Amino acid sequence: MSILEENEHLEELDRKYIWHPFTQMKEWTEETPVVISEGRECFIKDIYGRWYLDGVSSLWVNIFGHRKKEIDDAIKKQLDSIAHSTLLGLSNVPAIKLAERLVQIVQMSLRGQKTNSAFLFGNPPIPPLVKGGKGGLCKVFYSDNGSTAVEVALKMAFQYWRHKGIEGRNCFLSLNNAYHGDTIGAVSVGGVDIFHKAFGPLLFKTYKAPSPYCYRCEFDKKYPDCKLACLSGMEEIFKAYGYEIAALIIEPLIQAAGGMITSPPGYLKGVRELCTKYNILMIVDEVATGFGRTGKMFACEHEGVVPDIICLSKGITGGYMPLAVTIATEEIYSAFLGEFKDLKTFFHGHSYTGNPLACAAAIACLDLFDKEKVLEGLKFKIEILETWLKDVLNLRHTGDVRNAGLMAGVEMVKDKNTKEPYDWAEKMGWRVAYQAQDKGVFIRPLGNVIVIMPPLAISDQNLNQLLRVIKEAIVAVTEE
């Protein structure tokens, strides 16, 4: 077979055998799929040798670019020891070392101290725990993707109250426009109609708090005159139904998949205060925001918030391997302690829990955060991005621009004065993405919101290139 024939054969096999996620397969099979065969730094290459800038960090996971030597080496080295062993009834070396590192970095970060995970194994000791939601995150439960990290958190929170002898806390509070993953529990606490409504009859009961979506405020108010009406809306639910609620779950600072919706200053802190006031556990889903995306190691740092449970995944291995953790406080963990016969065990676990290869990659990643001073290096890139966003806001069909660090969204509207959105079926976001793809930039929109989410290690030059192409594509599609 010639190379061309081989490539066409691959495309044929893709159409024949793969069912792609979040994809209308009728459309997909009518087009030619882009098949990726290689990556280098912030670029990915297809089988025809065309390079694309990876503007979505390979779906929000990549941090240091592709083929990062230190992560490659860590995985290869681990491969020479063992690829996988279980945490059910056994432990393994990388899982242990990573758990310690994660607890240290979470505790340091969420206490407002300098983020520095460069400790030798076991030294210095973790600072003493402060209970009651303050710095007490210390028990690491492994799983392998963001949705399972959320499932684990929900089940932990639910059982916590049972074990404390408190009945009736059978539901959760989540937000409109929330996205926490695609498994049924995660969908139950989701609030994006297009993804979630179809499964309505299968979902468990949740209360939905207003989304802190200033551009399309549910109360028709303006920040700061609104005095955070969305928070008052949440408090009303706590007041009326708090006794039924096991936990609140929230994406801190930015509702990502819901459309890059950033919350106004003070909102997240206010949510923490409400949870404390009404004695509701606070679960933060930092699956998207964790590991530097928002400019700090964790989004909660921006408002000095310490949750009761934190979910981490996407960037944890630098975008190399599927891995997730749910980290709980000592208070929650200890509620599960008891005699074997008490059945207080946390009955949950996955086949690939604590996979050694993935944990080795994650350790290499944390080393890189220290070595390459990633967080410090972000400041200038965020400035570039914010300057560009201000510029793009002047375009005829840009309704709103939003960002939390290096995660950004441009909301395109049909009519800027009335904020009338483009009809979803017009696929405006996709049309912009296809334009950009023709110019060597791969992005993936969320409806009418153009998402900008490059690897954190992107060079200033490549970032400028990414932004230039995206702006051209928006202009070409909306002002044609």
Ligand X SMILES: *Cc1c(COP(=O)(O)O)cnc(C)c1O
DSSP summary character for residue 242: G
- 235 is a site residue for ligand X (CB under 6 A): no
Question: Judged by CB under 6 A, which stretch of 95-103, 146-154, 363-371, 458-466 contacts ligand X?
Answer: 146-154
Among 145, 174, 211, 398, binds ligand X (CB under 6 A): 145
Among 39, 136, 181, 212, binds ligand X (CB under 6 A): 181
Backbone φ and ψ of 337, nearest 5°: -85, 140
- 282 is a site residue for ligand X (CB under 6 A): no
Q: Are 195 and 255 in contact (CB under 8 A)?
A: no
Cis before residue 124, ω within 30 degrees of 0? Answer: yes
CB of 320: closest distance to ligand X in angstroms?
A: 13
CA-to-CA distance for 164 and 242, rounded, in angstroms? 16
- 362 is a site residue for ligand X (CB under 6 A): no
CB closer to ligand X, 150 vs 474: 150
Binding mask 5-34 for ligand X (x = CB under 6 A): ------------------------------
**Chain-centre distance for alpha carbon 132:** 25
Site for ligand X in 299-328 (CB under 6 A): 313
DSSP summary character for residue 343: T
Among 156, 173, 230, 288, binds ligand X (CB under 6 A): 288
Question: Judged by CB under 6 A, which stretch of 63-71, 281-289, 298-306, 373-381 contacts ligand X?
Answer: 281-289
- 57 is a site residue for ligand X (CB under 6 A): no
Among 150, 230, 246, 366, binds ligand X (CB under 6 A): 150
- Measured between its terminal Cα atoms, the distance across the chain in Å is 43
CB of 75: closest distance to ligand X in angstroms?
A: 19
**DSSP assignment of 296-342, as one string?**
SSSGGGGGT---SEEEE-GGGGTTSS--EEEEEEHHHHHHT---GGG
CA-to-CA distance for 60 and 431, rounded, in angstroms? 21
Q: State the residue number with the nearest CB to ligand X.
A: 146
Closest by CA position to 276, among listed 134, 136, 141, 372: 134
CB closer to ligand X, 446 vs 458: 446
* Residue entry with tokens 């056994």: 90
- 287 is a site residue for ligand X (CB under 6 A): yes
CA-to-CA distance for 239 and 234, rounded, in angstroms? 9
- 405 is a site residue for ligand X (CB under 6 A): no
CB closer to ligand X, 321 vs 413: 321
Closest by CA position to 137, among listed 312, 307, 281, 337: 307
CB of 279: closest distance to ligand X in angstroms?
A: 25
Among 251, 308, 400, 411, binds ligand X (CB under 6 A): 251
**Chain-centre distance for alpha carbon 245:** 24
Contacts with ligand X by CB under 6 A lie at 145-147, 150, 179-181, 251, 256-257, 285, 287-288, 313
